[in-house]
Chains A and B, each alone.
Chain A
Amino acid sequence: MESVNAKYVSQKISKTRWRPVSHSSLQQPDIFATGSWDNENNKISFWSIGNHGSSDMEDGFEGDPQLLCEHKHDGDVLDLQFLDQDRIVTTSSTGAVTIFRHHQNSETISVSQSWPRVHRYPCDNAPCTGVVCSSPEIVTVGEDGKIIVFRADQEGVVRVIENADSSTIHAVTYLRTTEILTVNSIGQLKLWDFRQQSNSPSQILSLSGDRVPLHCVDRHPNQQHIVATGGQDGMLCVWDVRQGSTPFSLMEAHSAEMWEVHFHPTNPDHLFTCSEDGSLLHWETSTHSDMPSFLQGGRNNSMISRSAMAPAGGNQSLISAWLNGDSSKGRLETTHMLPSQTLSVNSLDVLGQFLVCGTDGEAIFVNRQVPV
């Protein structure tokens, strides 16, 4: 808890994202971007946490994120993704998708490309709720139920799937290079295969019965069939998209909407979730639990496992800990990562040992020692 720094920034933060670090070097992340919402004038901002021994040390500001530059943003920033080291894609409540370029030499931001009002109704704008990109391809989803594909190097729109969903699509992620996964407000996961020309999903998975809206989705970084989602009731669901159309396991996590879920990119036994209830949770599955559970500390949440059967035909050693969940052995640990606070944690991002999150209390928290 000591390594958590809060900085008040005078704007409600809707999204936070680390700038990717190059794979070749073992660099630490040092720059992150934030987007604001619900302000008269919204902004995207770049911050430095100053790992490279900057001059701020003697000011007693050690570790305090410093604002590098900011740029006006029309409408709420609803999602934010880095396209590469310098470019970042934002989606707006006005239905616009914009690519901003961060000029690192001059510490300025400029608009490099923009598609205004791509998500829209016949006579109104539709908020664009989510974006995922794998350079140069960009996929966005919106309240209008459309899926739109762009290319960063092309002006027009590459492909539109109209009526991809009858309700709002809340989030999107890549499953494989040609497949994406969307979650919607009636509790469904839909798989879309871009190799097929048809405008209908190749698979639909859903929570049985209760239709709880899903707000976020993330894919296991190594095992592409494992997907985690978070919904309105704060439940964490882990799915195996290869089998069954219902979630593999459901875990009680938060008492209100789960806004984001992220597997740790390099250590996927760890998972992070944040919620409207103002909490940020760190989940850890231990593949070998030699230690008795009472020594492991942290708060254990109740866990309901829907099906305990092992995936057929899978190599046992490759079965992810997430599909092995067994609460009786205390294999899953959760820890609260923020001091008590009441306002929603809207977004989080984790890279290496660094975690950043932003809240409706207009604070950014940076944790430099995530125990992974």
Chain B
Amino acid sequence: MEELDVEPAITNIPAASDGKHLGFAWGPGDILAYETLYKASSGAKGSGCSFIHEVRKDEDIYSPILRKLFNESHHIFVGLQTIREDLPNKNKKPQFVSISKNYRSVIRACMEELQQVAVSTKDAKVSMQYGNQVSILLAIELIWNLCEVLFIDAAPAGSLLLHLLDWVRLHKADVDEKAREVLQSESPAEHHDYWDVVVSYVLQGRLEEARQMLVKQATLQPAARNMYKLMDTLLTKMPFYNPGGTQTLTEFDVKWRNWHEEVDRCLQDNSFASNRHLEIICRILVGDEDMLLDHKELLGTWYHFLVTRLLFSHPTVKPTELHYYAQSCMTMFLDSRNVPEPLDNILLAAFEFDIHQVIKDCSIALNNWWFVAHLTDLLDHCKLLQSHNLHFGSNLREFLLLEYASGLFTHHSLWQLAVDYFDHCPEFGRVYLELQIERVPLDTERKALKVLRICEQRQMSEQVRSICKIMAMRALRNNRLGSALSWSIRAKDAAFATLISERFLQDYCARGTFSDLDLIDNLGPAMLLSDRLTFLGKYREFHKLYGEKRFSEAAKLLLSLMTAKIAPRSFWMTLLTDALPLLEQKEVIFSADQTHELMFCLEELTSSLNITPGTDGSMQDEDIELTKVELLRLALARNLAMAIVKEGTVET
């Protein structure tokens, strides 16, 4: 067993008080807990609590807004699976990055909606619940974005920093809000947040915006015009790497160093000594760590600090060096009073390029599988996970997808999404699907048809049979023989079709008419499914022929039903009785040969009947049977005579 990473969470079952014993049963996602009568020794049969509690592991799945996340991401997931394997990696990377961006935009859309609801709702508890979900999604998006930069896009030195800057800017958007506030005030330059905004811009490397802000201050202080002009030049001249350009990384590095020395010179000759704020900015530009740490409030997080520090000290940082800076920045920033939170550790693990640690920590810290399942799947498509196999189940990707999909399957409505996830788990997906799909409650035929379609598309014949059987049984219980027969024909379930055909024949014997003629008359090739069904169809055909007065065809069919052993022996007497009116017709319908065969059938039947005579069945029934046989014999004999005469007569 693996070591426990965290203390297990405790869930109290409200109705189960102290001293009671609980039993439980695992579900695919949830647990059922119930009270048990433990005191077997005392023999007391006290009334136990009659409630069963459903303990849900994952509440998020029931959030109406998060459902949109599940549905939209399902669509992206399916799209990702169809990217062709054989494309060269170079062509696939932009696709993976764009898919990753799609996932993130879905998260953001969901987040915005949650935020709106959280603000607009009046219920404080609901508001807090939504607020929590927003912060979770925010963290998810932050991690995802970093993973995208580091793993999926795998930016090389130079552009790596640019991506990281974008990442920080996206997740530290409060600067813009503050800037808007400042700019909308009457005199922005005198606003108390003015310098915070300027410094924040610089910290995020948004130098153009910082310059525009500084202009406002410069116009107010004509005396310090030169100083502002110098700062403006420094900010303008700061080189940024242009990955699309012709400049090599070394050229950029030389250029950057020159600029850095220039800033340093300004600092040395105290160019900004008379203005505290410009002095601060200059020291930030030169990468002064103490000065950066003085602005913890504006930086907010250690990873912002990290990116700013890299920007002004090591703009050509290589991916492999990141972990060193990340570690030191985190230590410097958090110092002793702050303990790193799970999020900090996850991000650090990402900077260390320890993908498995990221996934593991996320699985522990987050309460649903959505994030890890989708991220792992994407990383797996990028071929970043191949070396890792679990000692249980299949690989990590499949394990997480299965967990996520199983969770979806417990939902009364989202189960349909889970099917596609199972489809893309090559090893165990099918088994999971087979086990789960049979347990979908089938309220209507339409739902049954949808489930059937899922099974049929995947050639899950066992499940198809089972679903059809459920539907057929239900129809049978409700006395809908036609429906029941249709379902068993669809399942090609011969035994059940036989059973239902039996019922039809019983009904016919009892009532003398067929029910559900529209079905029986249109059986077509489906008739061949079972012998009894064939007989039912053929027997009905006989009635139809008889009704249409096509006697000789009817007679031929009737006889063949017995001689070809299609009719069950128990039904022969009925068939022979049906032959009676044909025998009594004025013209000869049964030929001599046919009459012989009929006689043979009758004898075969009576001889087998005589073996078990008089088993205290009512005498009356037996009498009727005997009379029938007598009548038949008479009719047969008469018909035979007529037939011989007719056949012996030469037509003139």
Contact = CB atoms under 8 A, between A and B. Distances in A.
Contact of A168 (B75, B445, B453): B445
A185 B468 CA distance: 14
Nearest to B456: A256
A211 B526 contact: yes
Interface in A239-265: 256-257
A148 interface: no
Interface in A308-344: 340-344
A126 B478 contact: yes
A343 B416 CA distance: 8
A341 to B, nearest CB: 6
Given A188-B518, A361-B71, A167 B443 contact: no
A12 B417 CA distance: 11
A220 to B, nearest CB: 25
Contacts of B457: 256
Interface residues of A, number: 52
A20 B171 CA distance: 47
Interface stretch (A105-113, A132-140, A202-210): A202-210
Interface string A19-30: 000000000000
A10 B413 CA distance: 10
Contacts of B581: none
Interface in B58-74: 64-65, 67-68, 71-72, 74
Given A8-B68, A211-B522, A361-B74, A93 B478 contact: no
Contacts of A343: 416-417
B483 interface: yes
Interface in A158-175: 163, 165-168
Contact of B522 (A10, A39, A186): A186
B522 A76 contact: no
A76 B482 contact: no
Contacts of A153: none
B426 interface: no
A183 to B, nearest CB: 12
Interface stretch (A96-104, A116-124, A292-300): A116-124
B481 interface: yes
A166 B518 contact: yes
Contacts of B268: none
B221 interface: no
A204 B447 contact: no
Contact of B478 (A12, A121, A210): A121
Contacts of A256: 453, 457
A329 B453 CA distance: 34
B209 interface: no
Nearest to B523: A211
Contacts of B524: 208-211
Nearest to B526: A211
Contacts of B45: none
Interface in B402-452: 412-413, 416-417, 420, 443-447, 449-450
Nearest to B68: A8
A186 B523 CA distance: 9
B483 A167 contact: yes
Nearest to B420: A342
B603 interface: no
Contacts of B515: 163, 166
A65 interface: no
Contacts of B447: 37-38, 76
A185 B481 CA distance: 13
A121 to B, nearest CB: 4
A181 interface: no
Contact of B446 (A10, A78, A124): A78
B27 to A, nearest CB: 17
A276 interface: yes
A8 B489 CA distance: 38
Contacts of B516: 166
Among B480, B481, B516, B518, residue most surrounded by chain A Cβ atoms (within 10 Å): B518
Contact of B518 (A204, A341, A361): A204
B41 to A, nearest CB: 42
A166 B71 contact: no
A362 B71 contact: yes
Contacts of B413: 11-12, 38-40
A361 B414 CA distance: 9
A360 B523 CA distance: 33
B453 A188 contact: no
A206 B525 CA distance: 15
B483 A166 contact: yes
A188 B79 CA distance: 39
A200 B599 CA distance: 40
A285 interface: no
Contacts of B522: 186-188, 206, 211
A95 B447 CA distance: 15
A108 to B, nearest CB: 20
A63 interface: no
Interface in A174-210: 184-188, 190, 204, 206, 208-210
Given A166-B480, A185-B483, 20 more contacts: A8-B72, A11-B413, A12-B416, A38-B412, A126-B478, A127-B446, A143-B444, A167-B518, A188-B518, A206-B522, A208-B524, A210-B525, A211-B523, A211-B524, A211-B526, A232-B449, A256-B453, A276-B453, A360-B416, A361-B417
23 contacts: A38-B413, A38-B447, A39-B412, A76-B444, A78-B444, A124-B477, A143-B483, A144-B478, A145-B483, A165-B482, A166-B480, A166-B482, A166-B517, A167-B483, A167-B486, A167-B518, A168-B445, A186-B518, A187-B522, A188-B522, A210-B524, A210-B525, A342-B420
Which 10 residue pairs are nearest across A and B when measured between Cβ atoms? A166-B482, A166-B516, A121-B478, A8-B68, A10-B64, A127-B444, A10-B67, A166-B519, A209-B524, A93-B444
